[in-house]
Amino acid sequence: MHGAVVNAGVRVGENSIINNRSLFEHDSTVEDHCHISTGAILNGGVTIGEGSFVGSGTVIKEGVKIGQDCVIGMGLSVRSNQADYSRYTGKSSS
């Protein structure tokens, strides 16, 4: 989408949505069937598992792994790995 930046060494799987103004830093991976929302930032070496959703304006710390079929809410700062099927909204962590 418009204004998205995908830097060196990034891998994006099939059927994934990379929304406006999102930023993917070096060596990140987004697996198949993901949705990365508007203005999300994936720092270097981040992995987003298959079928996961990352909300608008969320920032994911370098090297963090988000499991498959996770939902990460909007406007969050994700600093630790999230297990498969996690729901991270900022109120509580799975």
Angstrom distance (rounded) from CA 94 to CA 20: 28
pLDDT of 16-46, one tens digit each? 999 999 999 999 999 999 999 999 999 999 9
| pLDDT score of 94 more than 50 | no
Categorize the per-residue pLDDT at 92 as very low, low, confident or very high, splitting at 50, 70 and 90. low
pLDDT for 27: 97
- All structural domains of the chain, each given as residue ranges with its CATH number in brackets, are 1-79 (2.160.10.10)
pLDDT of 64-85, one tens digit each? 999 999 999 999 999 999 999 9
- Element at 78 (helix H, strand E): strand 77-78
Question: Pick the residue with more confidence: 34 or 2?
Answer: 34
pLDDT for 93: 47
pTM: 0.93
Amino acid of residue 92: S
Phi–psi pair at 22, nearest 5 degrees: -75, 155
**Nearest in space to 28 (alpha carbons), one of 76, 79, 73, 62:** 62
Strand partners, 92: none
**Long-range CB contacts for residues 71-75, cutoff 8 Å, separation at least 24:** 74/37
